[in-house]
Amino acid sequence: MLTTAQIEIAANRLHQAEVERKQIPALTLEYPEMDMADAYAIQKKWVDHKIEQGRKVIGYKIGLTSRAMQMASNIDEPDYGVLLDDMLFEDGATISAADFLDPRIEVELAFILKKPLFGENVSIFDVLEATDYVIPSLELIAARCLRTDPITGYTRKVYDTISDNAANAGIILGGRPIRPMDVDLRWAGCMLYLNGQIEETGLAGGVLGNPLKGITWVCKRFAPHGIGLEPGQIILSGSFTRPVPVKAGDTVHADFGSLGSVSLNFD
């Protein structure tokens, strides 16, 4: 277990990396004894700092829930991060690529809750009952710590990703809101275009077999800490495509078929 001082230092390093737009080495290089509890403690310390600065929690993301994402990141278990109000961008918005470190785009379904969810025994049917609507979304991820160290070749671990607030940077909602019982969410698909060319395709069933299971996973993860999901929160269930790198001048368009589309531009 890391000390309180080490957790504070690690959180500050991630914060400075974001502010200064300069990636830092993986924290596990300096703290090889880090465990899961340490990683989430660092994440919480960093998020608490943002809340003290005026940010508000609007939901959570569940990451690394599909084999596509686990293979792309060399990490074999899910994680979660906190969504804050300054991460929410409008569909079709133009944002600066230079504001984000190693920016990439993922395709997800976002669940908007109308009832609370809490406990280790939350089922997919509980999630259906608690969801107001599901809407297509893009997630913008940005890694504050290096994915691979250019000198040593060291690859970051899941604890690094978790500490980095699961690489959260932005969320874009668009397309057509749907009631969760109106479609078989497993078969919700998307074609992800980068500058007019298809880069990735996928089905939401790639998320643990059913995107609803992403929500049950985070409920079970939160339960021992007395934390639940609240009405009005946005919950990203997990990407079902690999992340696509983006840069200034790029346009991203995600076509969800009958569910509509989501777009984002970078300058």
What would the DSSP string read from start to end of 121-177? T--HHHHHHHEEEEEEEEEEE--SB-SB-TTT-PBPPHHHHHHTGGGEEEEEE-S--
What integer pLDDT is reported at residue 63 of this predicted model? 78
Q: Report the pLDDT value the prediction gives residue 59, as an integer from 0 to 100.
A: 96
Q: Give the confidence band of 126 by pLDDT, cuts at 50, 70, 90.
A: very high
Residue 76: predicted pLDDT: 62
Let me know if 89 is exposed, middle or buried by CB neighbors in 10 A (0-12, 13-18, 19+): middle
Count of the separate structural domains present in the chain: 1
Can you tell me the distance from the alpha carbon of 190 to that of 43, in angstroms, rounded to the nearest whole number? 31
| Per-residue confidence (pLDDT) for residue 86, from 0 to 100 | 96
The tokens for 107 are 């395709």
Asked if pLDDT for residue 142 goes beyond 90, the answer is yes
CA–CA distance, 86 with 61 (Å, rounded to integer): 15
Flag whether 219 is in a domain: yes
pLDDT at residue 197, as a whole number? 98
Q: Which domain holds residue 219?
A: 56-266
What per-residue confidence (pLDDT) applies to 214?
87
Whether 190 is covered by a domain: the verdict is yes
Decide if 40 contacts 161 (C-beta within 8 A). no
Neighbours of 174 (CB within 10 A): 21
**Predicted confidence (pLDDT) at residue 67 exceeds the cutoff of 80:** no
Contacts of 246 (CB under 8 A, 6+ apart): 97, 103, 104, 105, 194, 252, 266
Q: Is residue 27 part of a domain?
A: no
Q: Whose structure tokens read 């880069």?
A: 199
Quick one: how far is CA 63 from the chain centroid?
A: 5
Q: What share of the chain is helix, strand, coil (3-state, %, to 5)?
A: 35, 30, 35
Taking only the tens place, the pLDDT of each residue in 178-228 is 999 999 999 999 999 999 999 999 999 988 899 999 899 889 888 887 889
CA dihedral (240, 24, 7, 154) positive or negative: positive
Q: Which residue has the higher pLDDT, 71 or 168?
A: 168
| For residue 85, pLDDT beyond 90 | yes
Whole-number pLDDT of residue 194: 98
Residue written as token pair 């230092």: 9
Average pLDDT over residues 237-264: 96
- pLDDT for residue 120 is more than 80: yes
In a domain, 11, yes or no: no
Q: Is the pLDDT of residue 177 over 70?
A: yes
The chain-wide mean pLDDT, for the chain, equals 93
What CATH code is carried by the domain that includes residue 199? 3.90.850.10
233 band by pLDDT with thresholds 50, 70 and 90: very high
Q: How confident is the model at residue 87 (pLDDT cuts 50, 70, 90)?
A: very high
Choice between 165 and 218, residue whose per-residue pLDDT is larger: 165
Better pLDDT: 224 or 21: 21
Assigned domain for 172 exists: yes
Tell me the mean pLDDT in the region 31-40. 92
- Angle, CA of 101, 105 and 34, to the nearest 5°: 55
The answer to the question of residue 238 being in a domain is yes
85 lies in a domain? yes
CB of 50 within 8 A of CB of 81?
no
**pLDDT above 60 for 69:** no
User: Is 2 domain-assigned?
Assistant: no
Is the pLDDT reported for residue 47 higher than 70? yes
Under 8 Å between Cβ of 241 and 198: no
Q: Which pLDDT band holds residue 92 (cuts at 50, 70, 90)? A: very high
